[in-house]
Structures are given as structure tokens and as C-alpha cells.
Amino acid sequence: MSTSATPIQLYSHRTIPKSMNQQHISIHPLATNNGLIVTPPVQQQQKQQQQQPKQELTVSAKLLMHHNLNTDFTSKYVLGQELGSGGFGFVVAAHERSTGIERAVKFIIRKKVPSNAWVNDPKMGPIPMEIYTLKHVRHENIIHYCDSYQDDTYFYLVMELHGTQWVPPSNYPMHSPDLSQNSQSTIDEDELVEPPQRQFVRRTSCDLFECIEQHKHFKESLAKKIFKQIADCVAYLECVGVCHRDIKDENIVIDQDYKVKLIDFGSSVILPRHSTKKLFTRFYGTLSFASPEILLSNPYRAEPAEIWSLGVLLFTLLFGEIPFPDSKSAIEGRILKPKINVSNQCKHLISSLLEKNPDNRPTIHQVLTHPWLNED
């Protein structure tokens, strides 16, 4: 593998290629034309410090500041704003040098990838399941794979960047559009130098979570439009033998036209082609979207657990809150009484998705044929 000889120090916008400069591109506070920091003269630094308040570095800046980035990557992309950080790494915007097109780059920390989440790729060797999955799926509601690189510390997953920035309310804590803060694993504190109290050059989120925060809840017709896109996506994945295993609003990016795309395949698994009884014992998703059998630490089938997560998602779209206030309520199947009235067909679909017994939940293909999703 190839890495640069000079440590990257992240980000200044001085030497953006001309074609990119004309597009008014926003650059991460540490990147230049060759991917390296240009340190301003001391007097200029002092003047800048006097003019603006002290700003904290992002997680990506702290971790990449003295890191040797892959030279094949830096020859093609220049890094931009941080998009998020979480359990297995962090996500940074990047622009293609030749076109100026903006992408999302997920830096996956090698040592954070679970032992059972590796797949052997003929060209790259052992790679995380997330990269392998995105390379081999193609659906209009799944974020598109663009490229991948690696070095001794990180895998770089380059993806399309989709969604509208849904500005959160004042003082509302921002979270990652690709890496959930609710995930079970997090970056170890000793890997960061003085974890920031607030983020610097951190873009607001484009995910469904923030969209719901802005809308409070969706009308039934709009909730149906959004939910059907995700159900179509889950059905496609099952047909190609993949289960996402972390369906939730934070792992769905959405634009102003309510076109959604599923992201973050870090918990995904490949399902056996000729068996529907494959059981899993480990869970890497989000507890508020976890099914009763998972919360009880029982061996579970991925497909019915995914259906439960879709039920939580649909409830959240319609009512602006999750259906269970705690794990005990979820295990017992005690769904919160909605404060908003919806049609009987909608209520029926929600109750079937949130069936306590996984054997009694519908398959994803049965969900797609439900009357609520097919009525005008």
C-alpha cells in the first residue's frame, strides 16, 4: 500500500485548484492543494488569534493532523468539513480535484473493526464488511460506493454525498450522519487529545433524525413515501443476501424532496442463501431500535429483527417519538399510545411490525404488499 512521505496536518483553503475555487467550495480547516497544512507566519497567526475566538479541532483534525494519508487518495481528493464521528471512525467531506464533485469519506479505524466483520477482497485483501457490501450493492435508496483506499491505520470509504442540511435548533447537540452516537462501541478517549467540548468546522446533519426534529412528525402520506423507499431498499438487500442490522433514522440521509438513502453498513451481515434459520448472538446496532429477542440476549434471526426496526422507524416518522420509552416496555411489547390519529391500515402495519414474537412478524416482501403501502 502507498502512503505519503510527509505527514498531513489538515487544512487551509489557500491552494484550491482553480476549477474548484470557482465553485465556492468550503474546505476543511486543514487541507491544501497537496493535502498538507501550510503554516502561516507567526505574525499572521497572532493576528488571526486576536481577530477570532479560540476554536476547537474536530475529531478528524485531531486524528489526521500528523497522519500520512495514502498518496493515491490525496492525488484525487482534497479533504473538507467533518461530517461526523462515532464508533468505528469519522466521516469527512472531500472534493474530487478534477471535477470539484463533493463526496463523503468514511475513515474506518482498522483496530476498531470487529473480528467477525472482515471479508477477503480479491484486490484489496481483508476489508471491512461495510466496504465489501457497498461495493457489491446498487440501489437508488442505498448510498453509492465511489472508491476505497487504505493505509496502516485506516480504510477510506469514498461515497456519494446525499441530503439536505437540516439545521438543528439552537444549542441542540449535533451527531454524525453516518456514525450513530447510540452505537455500542465508541472511540477510546485515550486516542484523542483533549476531546473537544464543541465541534469546529462541523457540518450540520442531513439525516432523517434531524429532518424529523425540524418537522416534529410527518403527515401520513409523507411518512408513507419515506418508509416505502426504505422498505424497498431492505427488500432488495434481502434478495442479494445482505441484512443491514442497524436501520434507524440516523442511518438514513434525506434531501429536500424527501428522497432517502440508507447509509452506515458497519453492522451488516451476509445471509446464507439456502437457510432462513441463521442465528446471531452478537448485536452491534442501536438499543432503541432493537427487537425483544435481542434485548433478552437470545440468539436471533437478522431478518425479523430488521422488521422490528422498521416498525420503530415507521412509528417515529408518524408520531415524532420512539414507540417504547425503555427496554422493558419493548420486551413486553407495550407500545406508547400515539397522540396523533392515523388510519386503521397504518395502525395495523405498525402493530404487525412490532409483534413481540419474531416468528409472527411479516417478511419484508409481505410488508411491501400491505394495503397501507399500496393505497392511494
210 is in an annotated binding site: no
Task: Give the separation between CA 190 and CA 57, rounded to whole angstroms.
Answer: 16
Q: Is 232 among the catalytic positions? A: no
| DSSP output for 37-96 | --PPPHHHHHHHHHHS---PPPHHHHHHTT----HHHHHHEEEEEEEEEETTEEEEEEEE
85 is in an annotated binding site: yes
Bridge partners of 79? 94
88 is in an annotated binding site: yes
> Taking each helix axis from N to C terminus, what angle separates 302-319 and 220-239, rounded to the nearest 10 degrees?
160
Cα torsion for 306, 308, 309, 310, to the nearest 10°? 90
72 is in an annotated binding site: no
278 is in an annotated binding site: no
Q: Which of 82, 123, 142, 125 is nearest to 106 (CA)?
A: 82
Q: Which of 306, 238, 299, 301 is nearest to 273 (CA)?
A: 238
Task: Give the separation between CA 125 and CA 119, rounded to whole angstroms.
Answer: 8
242 is in an annotated binding site: no
Contacting residues for 95 by C-beta, under 8 A, at least 6 apart = 20, 25, 27, 77, 78, 80, 101, 102, 103
35 is in an annotated binding site: no
Q: Name the residue type at position 52.
A: Q
The answer to whether the beta carbons of residues 344 and 318 sit under 8 Å apart is no
User: Cβ atoms within 10 A of the Cβ of 333, count?
Assistant: 14
Q: Name the residue type at position 279.
A: L
> All 3 cell numbers of residue 82?
467533518
Task: Give the separation between CA 247 and CA 308, rounded to whole angstroms.
Answer: 9
244 φ/ψ sector (left φ>0, alpha ψ -120 to 50, else beta):
alpha
Question: Which residue of the set 147, 178, 190, 246 is catalytic?
Answer: 246
Q: Which of 332, 351, 317, 309 is nearest to 224 (CA)?
A: 317
111 is in an annotated binding site: yes
89 is in an annotated binding site: yes
Contacting residues for 283 by C-beta, under 8 A, at least 6 apart = 184, 245, 290, 294, 300
Residue ranges of the annotated binding site for ATP are 83-91, 106, 111, 160, 207
Active centre residues (catalytic): 246
Residue ranges of the annotated binding site are 83-91, 106, 111, 160, 207
